[in-house]
């Protein structure tokens, strides 16, 4: 497994366990919003085999129509300063319950 795949695996596991904890505690519902905020890694997370898709599918399986809304706010090529510039519009104004942030690959 390459370095990038290891990093993606850790991101997925962190996000999955964070969301799973909330589901296990029955704290999430259809009135909640989870935002994935980041760069191309986040943007691609919504592909059929992506980590956001897997989390969404798991939540729908466990909660059905009560699953929270999932928003993918990943934009390819973004750096930390780009996220800072769109934080209010893409995150704060949506009043999320959970925000998963993945950024930094483009800042190197």
pLDDT in tens, 40-67: 999 999 999 898 998 899 889 888 898 9
Query: Which of 50, 14, 39 lies closest to 90 in space, CA to CA?
Result: 39
Torsion of CA 74, 17, 8, 66, to 10 degrees: -40
Mean pLDDT on 86-93:
96
Number of helices (H), then strands (E), belonging to the chain: the values are 4, 3
CATH code for the domain of 85: 3.40.50.1110
**When comparing pLDDT for 61 and 18, which is higher?**
61
Q: Which two tokens stand for residue 82?
A: 């780009």
With bands split at pLDDT 50, 70 and 90, how would you rate the model's confidence at 5?
low
How many domains is the chain built from?
Answer: 1
The pLDDT of residue 14 is 64
- d(CA 79, CA 107) in angstroms, rounded, equals 6
Cβ proximity of 52 and 36 under 8 Å? yes
- d(CA 85, CA 87) in angstroms, rounded, equals 6
Note down the domain range covering 13: 3-107
């Amino acid at each position: 497994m390459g370095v990038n795949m290891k990093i993606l695996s850790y991101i997925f596991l962190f996000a999955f366990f964070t969301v799973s904890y909330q589901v296990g505690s029955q704290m999430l519902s259809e009135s909640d919003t989870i935002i994935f905020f980041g760069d191309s890694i986040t943007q691609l997370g919504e592909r059929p085999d992506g980590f956001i898709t897997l989390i969404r599918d798991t939540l729908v399986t466990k909660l059905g129509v009560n699953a929270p809304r999932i928003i993918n706010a990943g934009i390819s090529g973004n750096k930390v300063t780009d996220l800072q510039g769109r934080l209010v519009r893409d995150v704060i104004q949506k009043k999320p319950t959970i925000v998963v942030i993945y950024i930094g690959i483009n800042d190197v």
